[in-house]
Amino acid sequence: MGFLDKLNPKKKVEELLASKVMGPAVERAVTAINQKGEETAKKEITIWVSNQIKAQAATVIPEPLTGASDEIINNASKKVVNEAFIKAKEQLKK
């Protein structure tokens, strides 16, 4: 995250949402990749992450940003899925 991103309230909320879901997402990704293969796992994790972030968003997104909540949720979800898969693949290589 760049300096200007740290000043952007939407980016701050995206980071907060992502951090709340990242650990469990990595664990689920590792399990899903082992059991179902990467392609199926990615679909399942994408849905799971989106649902988790939507649930967290209701308590995290401040009132002034509710108009941008869909964008915040989508950006946070993409970030978590991408990072979770990178970390899961690294764990599986060990």
Domain range enclosing 57? 3-93
User: How many domains are there within the chain?
Assistant: 1
- What per-residue confidence (pLDDT) applies to 6? 62
Q: What is the pLDDT of residues 44-81, one digit of tens each?
A: 999 999 999 999 988 888 888 888 889 999 999 999 99
The answer to whether the Cα torsion of 40, 17, 67, 54 is positive or negative is: positive
DSSP code per residue over 57-81: HHHHS-GGGGGGHHHHHHHHHHHHH
Lowest mean pLDDT among 3-7, 71-75, 90-94: 3-7
